């Protein structure tokens, strides 16, 4: 996560060239955290075919709903060549050819993402995809990503698709199912709203642009262009536009409210001939302190304010909106950000004339609720230490009712997908059950992984926004007991264990001073005695073999050291932001790298001396042999290097010409060398490789269906006790995978297709839904403090992880 620059190479022994690495069949599955773990910003049901629905996320790709309420991931084939596809800014399901689905993909519109955005399209419900590159960027992880949908298919002639762009790029149209695109020159409103024009962070300085496109399906006939199209624009003065001639000309909808708000959703109720619009004073998903809900009668041109609350009860904007197509006049709306005491959902059966609320105050602080929560599929969501222990949610921009089943509903939050199958009980005064229904969605960003030498722990993870977990079972959802507590950070950035006392852990994260210790393999934790007295923040932490010394390379105050839980002191002999680890066997030895320089300490981290110069320009990771003192490995963008003399000199390992994160784990044979897994480039191919003979030869262990997104962001651990099992997870937002060699592999995949609007060339990429894969995921703290940590993680840390 910390970037390290390096320069020229100086090595003890020159590398020799390796032949092309063969492939080995691996079966990949998600480690089950359970239930999402990140922001689900869009859910869409197909309006004409029962059972077809899709969910989109800001950094974790997209998913298709299965009949058993599980979800299938659709973008696991994404690799380093197209990593920005994991940010999905809009999704559309075809109402005529219901096998068709399209997505607008791209992560950032600022300099963090150098890639232009793309439209992905599929004719088999996401099993395979073709891509069209656009001449501008798309911001699936930018402000306003819960607005939408920005992508819309004409319900009467499905070769026509509209897309509303960000950054002042306006409205775009395709007439060939999304293969090529042209700007709609007659639509001149590009949006004026910028979240924070004076912010030093460019993330908040871009134009949010067009928020949604909604066709009035009742205005046309099958086989002809739909005449009436509404477009909502992130503009607080002139936001709702309409065309009555199929997009040839546009005008502002007359009489629209002028309340200085932004339109988040524009949802049509065909039987009522009404357009419902939710407004908030911010782009979301974190902000929004005021808002409104309006309905527009298309036939009469009448606007009606149907905002559910007023006065002091209105302290939030509105996001998700749902129409029950089987029950005209039955609608629902979600408070976008009612942070306290928790989120709010409203329901009306008379088109908004009156509303009932998911909960009501009785005698403060008590509330009566129209629901009970069921997080059995993601039990960590129910944390007794939180208040409330199981929140209805926040950041609620996605809210839908199944068009074929009035009892079936879903909504997205900052943590998961909730919903249920007894919704109409709400109207009779009965209690409904709200369940976590994100089984199959693993959307966490992984910042560190350890496979320690412990009988009861298979894996330890540090996770963006949801702290981290002890994984004693890889296929069982985590509970709140499995999560790091006391203290519980919003985000854990780095983990380490003591090599000779492997039940002793240290972790750092969250805000300044957050450092915690465990002496029982993560079963319980305590704050470091000096945690509150240090201003150190995030970074990388190392633990000496005997668990008596911590060296912490912070992101803000340099490299610091604590002995026997005493006060921290600065290590002046190391540059700031150096990468640090401890020798697993020799308690006196620590290693570090900064730039192209490698450092060693022989006095338990008190002082460091430069000993060698590594090849390449970026240092990624250092790993110490778990069983032999002085045997240390380092990876850079120039390859993989090994020292057997405490880092005095290094030999470049054959094969990798570039290497990011890697690890050592259980050997193939008793007494053999530790197995190595590395994200590396070998023979010109960037992939995940394993070596069983100290890097003499390598096999590739992923295939075209498992791309793992950005190679640089992936964290890797090799199982300490089970040969061949490899763990991989990263800032790509798809949680943690574990792979094992043998039968049941994920498959061979097919080719990819990329089409540029100016020069078509085509490819098709197969989705990862062919590999056997089990679900579940994690969540974050339900308080306002979480808001900022989630915000920071999703736009800053994720980018750094991708580019570390």
How far apart (Å, rounded) are the C-alpha atoms in residues 407 and 347? 13
How far apart (Å, rounded) are the C-alpha atoms in residues 180 and 164? 15
The pair phi, psi for residue 190, each rounded to 5°, is -115, 0
Cα separations (Å) of 483 from 437, 471, 779? 20, 9, 10
In the residue annotation, 313 being an active-site residue is answered as: no
The pair phi, psi for residue 385, each rounded to 5°, is -80, -15
Which entry of 216, 374, 439, 465 is annotated as an active-site residue? 465
Query: What's the DSSP call for residue 508?
Result: E
Q: Are 119 and 163 in contact (CB under 8 A)?
A: yes
Give the burial class of 366: count Cβ atoms within 10 A of its Cβ; 0-12 exposed, 13-18 middle, 19 or more buried: exposed
How far apart (Å, rounded) are the C-alpha atoms in residues 397 and 58? 12
How far apart (Å, rounded) are the C-alpha atoms in residues 43 and 760? 30
Q: Can the peptide bond before residue 501 be classed as cis, meaning omega within 30 degrees of 0?
A: no
Which entry of 58, 154, 583, 778 is annotated as an active-site residue? 58
Q: How many CA atoms lie within 13 A of 748 on its CB side?
A: 2
How far apart (Å, rounded) are the C-alpha atoms in residues 140 and 272? 32
Task: Provide the 10 A C-beta neighbour count for residue 555.
Answer: 18
In the residue annotation, 58 being an active-site residue is answered as: yes
Of the candidates 702, 701, 677, the one whose C-alpha atom is nearest the C-alpha of residue 691 is 677
How far apart (Å, rounded) are the C-alpha atoms in residues 117 and 103? 11
Q: Are 506 and 494 in contact (CB under 8 A)?
A: no
Beta-strand pair 754-756/128-133: parallel
How far apart (Å, rounded) are the C-alpha atoms in residues 737 and 28? 6
Beta-strand pair 274-280/291-297: antiparallel
- Strand (E) or helix (H) holding 787: helix 784-792
How far apart (Å, rounded) are the C-alpha atoms in residues 208 and 167? 6
| 153: three-class secondary structure by DSSP | strand
- Strand (E) or helix (H) holding 792: helix 784-792
Query: What's the DSSP call for residue 794?
Result: I
- Any idea of the CA torsion for 736, 738, 744, 748, to the nearest 10 degrees? 60
Task: Provide the 10 A C-beta neighbour count for residue 743.
Answer: 7
Q: Annotated active-site positions, please?
A: 58, 465
């Amino acid at each position: 996560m910390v970037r390290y620059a390096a320069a020229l190479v100086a090595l003890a022994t020159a590398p020799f060239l390796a032949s092309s690495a063969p492939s080995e069949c691996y079966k990949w599955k998600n480690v089950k955290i359970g239930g999402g773990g990140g922001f689900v910003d869009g859910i869409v049901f197909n309006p004409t075919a029962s059972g077809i629905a899709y969910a989109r996320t800001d950094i974790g790709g997209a998913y298709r709903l299965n009949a058993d309420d599980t979800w299938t991931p659709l973008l696991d084939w994404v690799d380093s060549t197209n990593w920005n596809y994991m940010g999905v800014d809009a999704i559309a399901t075809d109402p005529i050819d219901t096998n068709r689905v399209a997505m607008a993909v791209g992560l950032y519109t600022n300099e963090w993402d150098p890639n232009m955005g793309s439209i992905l399209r599929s004719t088999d419900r996401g099993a395979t995809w073709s891509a069209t590159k656009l001449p501008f960027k798309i911001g699936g992880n930018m402000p306003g990503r819960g607005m939408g949908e920005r992508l819309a298919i004409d319900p009467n002639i499905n070769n026509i698709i509209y897309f509303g762009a960000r950054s002042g790029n306006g409205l775009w149209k395709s007439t060939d199912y999304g293969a090529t695109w042209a700007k709609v020159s007659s639509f001149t409103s590009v949006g004026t709203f910028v979240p924070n024009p004076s912010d030093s962070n460019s993330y908040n300085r871009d134009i949010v642009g067009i928020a949604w496109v909604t066709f009035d399906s009742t205005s046309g006939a099958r086989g002809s262009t739909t005449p009436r199209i509404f477009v909502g624009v992130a503009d607080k003065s002139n936001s709702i536009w309409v065309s009555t001639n199929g997009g040839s000309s546009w005008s502002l909808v007359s009489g629209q409210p002028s309340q200085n708000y932004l339109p988040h959703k524009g949802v049509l109720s065909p039987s009522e001939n009404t357009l419902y619009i939710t407004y908030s004073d911010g782009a979301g998903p974190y902000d929004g302190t005021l808002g409104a809900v309006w309905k527009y009668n298309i036939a009469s041109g009448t606007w009606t304010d149907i905002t559910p609350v007023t006065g002091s009860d209105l302290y939030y904007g509105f996001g998700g909106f749902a129409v029950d197509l089987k029950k005209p006049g039955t609608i629902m709306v979600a408070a976008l950000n009612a942070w306290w005491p928790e989120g709010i959902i409203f329901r009306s059966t008379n088109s908004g004339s009156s509303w009932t609320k998911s909960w009501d105050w009785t005698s403060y602080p008590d509330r009566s609720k129209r629901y009970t929560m069921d997080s059995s599929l993601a039990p960590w969501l129910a944390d007794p230490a939180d208040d409330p222990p199981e929140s209805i949610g926040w950041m609620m921009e996605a809210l839908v009712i199944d068009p074929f089943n009035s009892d079936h509903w879903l909504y997205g939050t900052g943590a998961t997908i909730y919903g249920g199958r007894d919704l109409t009980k709400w109207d009779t005064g009965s209690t409904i059950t709200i369940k976590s229904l994100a089984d199959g969605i693993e959307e966490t960003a992984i910042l560190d992984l350890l496979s320690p030498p412990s009988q009861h722990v298979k894996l330890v993870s540090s996770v963006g926004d949801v702290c981290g977990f002890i994984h004693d079972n890889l296929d069982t959802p985590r509970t709140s007991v499995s999560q790091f507590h006391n203290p519980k950070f919003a985000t854990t950035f780095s983990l380490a264990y003591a090599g000779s006392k492997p039940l002793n852990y240290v972790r750092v994260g969250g805000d300044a001073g957050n450092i915690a210790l465990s002496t029982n393999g993560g079963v319980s934790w305590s704050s470091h005695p000096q945690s509150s007295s240090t201003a150190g923040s995030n970074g990388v932490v190392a633990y000496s073999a005997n668990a008596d010394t911590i060296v912490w390379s912070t992101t803000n105050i340099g490299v610091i050291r604590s002995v026997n839980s005493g006060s921290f002191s600065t290590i002046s002999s190391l540059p700031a932001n150096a990468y640090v680890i401890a020798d697993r066997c020799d308690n006196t030895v620590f290693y570090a790298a900064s730039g192209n320089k490698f450092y060693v300490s022989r006095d338990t981290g008190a002082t460091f001396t430069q000993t060698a110069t590594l090849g390449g320009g970026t240092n990624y990771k250092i790993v110490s042999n778990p069983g032999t003192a002085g045997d240390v490995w380092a990876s850079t963008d120039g390859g993989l290097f090994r020292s057997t003399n405490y880092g005095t000199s290094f030999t470049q390992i054959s094969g990798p010409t570039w290497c990011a994160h890697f690890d050592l784990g259980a050997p193939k044979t008793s007494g053999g060398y530790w197995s190595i897994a590395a994200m590396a480039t070998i023979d010109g191919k960037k992939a995940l490789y394993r070596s069983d003979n100290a890097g003499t030869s390598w096999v590739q262990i992923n295939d075209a269906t498992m791309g793992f997104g950005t190679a640089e962001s992936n964290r890797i651990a090799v199982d300490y006790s089970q040969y061949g099992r490899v763990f991989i997870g990263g800032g790509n937002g798809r949680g943690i995978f574990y792979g094992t060699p043998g039968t049941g592999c994920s498959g061979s995949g097919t080719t990819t297709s990329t089409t540029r609007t100016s020069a078509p060339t085509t490819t098709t990429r197969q989705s990862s839904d062919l590999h056997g894969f089990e679900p579940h995921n994690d969540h974050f703290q339900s308080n306002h403090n979480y808001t900022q940590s989630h915000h920071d993680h999703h736009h800053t840390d994720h980018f750094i992880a991708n580019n570390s």
